[in-house]
């Protein structure tokens, strides 16, 4: 893909800002996520036409790893390395070794990497550890590639590395907007680069059912399609009479098998989500008997419908559990992992309260509240899946009314739900929206595509997924979530994912003592080069100015300006002209905006060169922010 001159110039400028002043001998490799231990030596290992790849014979997993490694080496160095099963005297070698006795607390995913001027030795207890070690080698090659002549160089280092958390996930919502099988594969590839190991596939919701279920063909014939709409989510008009539902798509079971196999080669487990009992409008549109009202609804296109259309399954109807039993039978036959995510979030209780059948059922069962009724439903679903040898995960709302006996809680409404679940002896995955929701603004809303709320890069980095006050053994891990209401394309999905997922990869993998925001910032420019080479779209909002506001006692507007990235100067104007390095420099004190001023313009600089986008903020818009 060709890059514009402007983009290339900005990338090179970032590199100059952060790395040009440090000599190569002193520069620490900008690896993400940060390894547990890295000791840097002198010299470099050079890959050339005499270098061989040593892989013990008789192991299919290692043979596959060697094939992937050779693909990367060929692209990055121009050399396809001959694969041998033992070291020979001629030339240098890169050795992949399984060492079951390796004393590494990372167990299956840890590795040790030794690079000298004459030899590269990567060893691990399991193939997964070798895979992650290869990702580190891959990064080291790319980080060293300042020119084509240097592209086959590796620095002399000794690395011991293993993950902090077992579950290091990213979620992609394919219900609100359908993403192709090929894009899902690319997304998985990008995850693997940064040592994520769980892909949470949000397959069903109110706006689309994306998985073929052969027992219920209308789930994809009807539930996978909605009327086309473009604009702002929740502002769309509802489906009109006789309007054709032409927007959507779904994955066949063969597609899903292909993606699962693709992910497994990259040591990524896929966890499917079938969201129940709420968020089920696509299923109800296909089979109206599943809801308590029994009304005919269309799949929602992004118009307001909550508490208007009944999107909840009927917990009082045995046909619902028979339906779910058949659906999950087909789901678990596809997905080999231990878990199925069953949602359980944002379930409106209005339609249950209005249903005489549901209310009678509650009385018969001795169920006092609708929260307890949801708990009854979740426990029934857990029993269905337990018979199929699967464990359930649910969003933290499944705590309401009482947890299912063996449920794992994914805590998104802050940390408290997860803390409570851990204290009850349940495993927890922390994914608080304030730190992990990738569909939120990355920078000032005036500079970013429309969405809601905000998650800055710094905020994604600076949090602890293992909170104090609980037994850490119950913390399974952490996860970033990309909901797609405002994410209609694959390129935009990448933009929202990166670089905040670079931050999350380090939060989930690296020891807490190795996580350092100042150091992480220095790694952005080199990593942006890697993302460019992989044709991954990403955001530079961390370099842009964010304006925050308040009113003083005299009701004058006060504007504060900041960037996520440290060490930048911010210049601004109040006379509608574009700022440069000769304009007023922001000194950290809120700017008092005089009456009659129309707008403030601000931009971040390094020296005399602009590094962020120009922010043009009308004062009327800034005043709204004070409310």
Mean pLDDT of 113-122: 96
Q: How far is CA 360 from the centre of its chain?
A: 43
**Cα–Cα distance, 97 to 56 (Å, whole number):** 7
Helix H or strand E segment including 226 = strand 225-226
Give one DSSP letter per residue of 117-136, joined into a string.
SSEEEEEESSHHHHHHHHHH
- The answer to whether residues 120 and 95 touch, using CB atoms and an 8 Å cutoff, is yes
Distance, CA of 335 to CA of 407 (rounded, Å): 18
Q: Above 80 in pLDDT, residue 104?
A: no
Strand partners, 526: none
346 is an active site residue: yes
Residue 226: φ, ψ to 5°: -140, 170
- CA-to-CA distance for 540 and 532, rounded, in angstroms? 12
- What is the structure's pLDDT at 85? 85
Q: What does the pLDDT average to over 563-573?
A: 97
86 vs 239, residue with greater confidence:
239
Confidence of residue 91 (pLDDT cuts 50, 70, 90): low
Tally Cβ neighbours within 10 Å of residue 485.
Answer: 18
Q: Position of tokens 């890959």?
A: 47
Contact 141, 81 (CB under 8 A): no
Alpha-carbon distances, residue 589 vs 435, 485, 554, 561, 625 (angstroms): 27, 37, 17, 9, 18
**Greatest CA separation for the chain:** 83
Give the per-residue SS3 of 443-494.
CCCCCCCCCCCECCHHHHHCCCCCCCCCCHHHEEEEEEEECCCCCCCHHHHH
CA 282, 283, 288 angle in degrees (round to 5)?
110
Contacting residues for 588 by C-beta, under 8 A, at least 6 apart: none
Q: Percentage of the chain surpassing pLDDT 70?
A: 94
| Residue whose entry in the numeric block shows the structure tokens 């020979």 | 88
* DSSP code for 437: B
CA gap 353, 179 in Å, rounded: 36
Which whole-number Å values give the CA distances from 574 to 526, 579, 599, in the listed order?
35, 9, 6
Instruction: Give per-residue pLDDT as tens, 427-483.
Output: 999 999 999 999 999 999 999 999 999 999 999 999 999 999 999 999 999 999 999
C-alpha dist (Å) from residue 544 to 358, 547, 561, 592: 53, 10, 10, 21
From the candidates 346, 372, 532, 621, give the one annotated as an active-site residue.
346
Q: Which residue did the predictor score with more confidence, 391 or 9?
A: 391
pLDDT score of 567 more than 60: yes
Catalytic residue (one of 34, 109, 161, 205): 205
Please give the pLDDT value at position 151: 64
Left if phi > 0, otherwise alpha if psi is -120 to 50, otherwise beta: which for 78? left
Count of C-beta atoms within a 10 Å radius of residue 620: 9
Nearest to 206 by CA among 348, 404, 315: 348
pLDDT reported for residue 25: 43
Calculated CA dihedral for residues 603, 609, 611, 616, nearest 10 degrees:
20
- Interacting residues of 75 by C-beta distance below 8 A, sequence separation 6+: none
Active-site residue, selected from the candidate residues 200, 267, 279, 341: 279
The model's pLDDT over 195-247, given as tens digits with 9 standing for 90+, comes to: 999 999 999 999 999 999 999 999 999 999 999 999 999 999 999 999 999 99
Mean pLDDT, residues 109-116: 97
- H/E element holding 394? strand 391-395
Between 441 and 15, where is the model more confident?
441
| Nearest-angstrom CA–CA distance, 282 and 204 | 8
Q: What are phi and psi of 500, to 5 degrees?
A: -60, -30
Any idea which residue has 């005043």 for tokens? 623
CB atoms inside a 10 Å sphere around CB 153: 20
Concatenating the DSSP letter of every residue in 586-620 gives P-SSPEEE-TT--EEEEEEEETTEE-SPPEEEEHH
When pLDDT is cut at 50, 70 and 90, the band that residue 150 belongs to is low
What pLDDT is attached to residue 14? 46
Q: Is pLDDT above 50 for 6? A: no
Task: Please check whether residue 476 is in contact with residue 166, taking contact to mean a CB–CB distance below 8 angstroms.
Answer: yes
Per-residue pLDDT band at 146 (split at 50, 70, 90): low
Instruction: Give percent of the chain with pLDDT exceeding 90.
Output: 87
Report d(CA 622, CA 627) in Å as an integer: 10
DSSP state of 68: H
User: Is residue 8 over pLDDT 70?
Assistant: no
Give yes or no for residue 7 having a pLDDT over 60: no
Average per-residue pLDDT in the chain?
A: 93
Fold category of 167-510 in CATH: TIM Barrel (3.20.20)
Query: Do the domains 544-625 and 167-510 match in fold?
Result: no
pLDDT band at 15 (very low <50, low <70, confident <90, very high): very low
For position 107, what pLDDT does the model report?
A: 78
The C-alpha R_g of the chain, in whole angstroms, comes to 26
So where are the chain's domains? 31-161, 167-510, 544-625
Cβ neighbors of 553 (< 8 A, separation 6 or more) are none
32-63: per-residue pLDDT in tens? 999 999 999 999 999 988 899 999 888 888 99
- Using N-to-C axis directions, what is the helix angle for 127-144 and 181-193, rounded to 10°? 80
**CATH of segment(s) 31-161:** 3.30.379.10
| Mean pLDDT score, 558-577 | 97
Give the pLDDT of residue 23.
39
Which of 555, 577, 557, 566 lies closest to 611, judged by CA?
Answer: 566
Q: Which helix (H) or strand (E) holds 97?
A: strand 93-98
pTM as predicted: 0.94
Res 86: pLDDT: 76
Q: What confidence score (pLDDT) does residue 20 get?
A: 40
Closest CA to 612 of 574, 586, 593: 586
Q: Side by side, which strands form the sheet with 93-98?
A: 37-46, 153-161, 111-115, 119-124, 93-98, 52-54, 83-84
Instruction: Assess whether 205 carries a catalytic annotation.
Output: yes
Class in CATH terms, 544-625: mainly beta
């Amino acid at each position: 893909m060709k890059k514009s001159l402007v983009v290339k110039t900005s990338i090179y400028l970032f590199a100059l800002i952060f790395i040009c002043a440090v000599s190569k001998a002193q520069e620490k490799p900008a690896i993400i996520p940060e390894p547990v231990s890295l000791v840097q030596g002198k010299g470099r290992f050079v890959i050339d036409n005499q270098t061989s790849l040593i892989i013990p014979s008789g192991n299919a997993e290692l043979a596959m790893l060697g094939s992937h490694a050779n693909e990367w080496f060929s692209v990055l160095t121009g050399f396809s390395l001959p694969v041998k099963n033992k070291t020979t005297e001629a030339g240098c070698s890169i050795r992949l070794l399984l060492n079951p006795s390796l004393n590494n607390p990372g167990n299956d995913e840890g590795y040790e990497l030794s690079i000298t001027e004459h030899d590269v030795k990567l060893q691990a207890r399991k193939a997964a550890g070798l895979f992650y070690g290869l990702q580190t080698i891959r990064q080291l090659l790319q980080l060293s590639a300042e020119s084509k002549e240097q592209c086959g160089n590796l620095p002399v280092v000794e690395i011991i590395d293993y993950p902090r958390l077992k579950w290091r996930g990213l979620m992609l919502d394919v219900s609100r907007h359908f993403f192709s099988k090929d894009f899902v594969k690319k997304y998985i590839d990008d995850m693997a680069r940064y040592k994520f190991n769980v892909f949470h596939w949000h397959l069903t919701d109110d706006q689309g059912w994306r998985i073929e279920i052969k027992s219920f063909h209308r789930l994809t014939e009807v539930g996978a399609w909605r009327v086309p709409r473009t604009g702002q989510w929740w502002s769309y008009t509802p489906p009109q009479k006789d309007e054709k539902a032409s927007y959507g798509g779904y994955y066949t079971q063969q597609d899903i098998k292909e993606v699962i196999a693709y992910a497994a080669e990259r040591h990524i487990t896929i966890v499917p989500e079938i969201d129940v009992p709420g968020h089920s409008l696509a299923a109800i549109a296909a089979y109206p008997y599943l809801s308590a009202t029994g009304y005919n609804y269309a799949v929602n296109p992004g118009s307001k419908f909550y508490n208007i259309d009944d999107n909840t399954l009927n917990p009082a109807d045995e046909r619902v559990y028979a339906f779910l039993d058949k659906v999950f039978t087909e789901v678990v036959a596809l997905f080999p992992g231990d878990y199925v995510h069953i949602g359980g979030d944002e379930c409106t209780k209005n339609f249950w309260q209005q249903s005489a059948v549901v209310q009678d059922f509650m009385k018969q069962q001795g169920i006092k509240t609708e929260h307890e009724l949801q708990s009854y439903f979740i426990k029934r679903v857990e029993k269905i899946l337990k018979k199929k040898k699967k464990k359930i995960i649910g969003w933290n709302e499944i705590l309401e009314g009482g947890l299912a006996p063996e449920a794992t809680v994914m805590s998104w409404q802050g940390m408290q739900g997860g803390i409570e679940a851990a204290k009850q002896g349940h495993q927890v995955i922390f994914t608080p929206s304030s730190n992990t929701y990738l569909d939120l603004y990355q920078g000032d809303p005036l500079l970013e595509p429309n969405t809601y709320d905000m998650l800055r890069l710094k905020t994604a980095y600076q949090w602890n997924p293992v909170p104090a006050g609980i037994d850490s053994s119950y913390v399974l891990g952490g996860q970033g979530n990309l909901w797609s209401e405002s994410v209609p394309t694959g390129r935009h999905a990448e933009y929202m994912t990166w670089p905040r997922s670079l931050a999350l990869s380090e939060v989930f993998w690296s020891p807490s003592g190795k996580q350092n925001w100042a150091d992480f910032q220095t790694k952005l420019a080199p990593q942006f080069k890697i993302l460019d080479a992989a044709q991954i779209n990403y955001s530079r909002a961390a370099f842009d100015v964010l304006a925050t506001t308040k009113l003083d006692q005299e009701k004058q507007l006060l504007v504060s300006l900041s960037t996520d990235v440290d060490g930048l100067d911010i210049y601004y104007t109040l006379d509608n002209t574009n700022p440069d390095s000769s304009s007023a420099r922001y000194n950290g004190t809120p700017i008092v905006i005089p009456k009659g001023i129309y707008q403030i313009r601000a931009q971040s600089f390094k020296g005399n060169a602009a590094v962020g986008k120009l922010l043009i903020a009308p004062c009327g818009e800034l005043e709204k922010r004070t409310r």
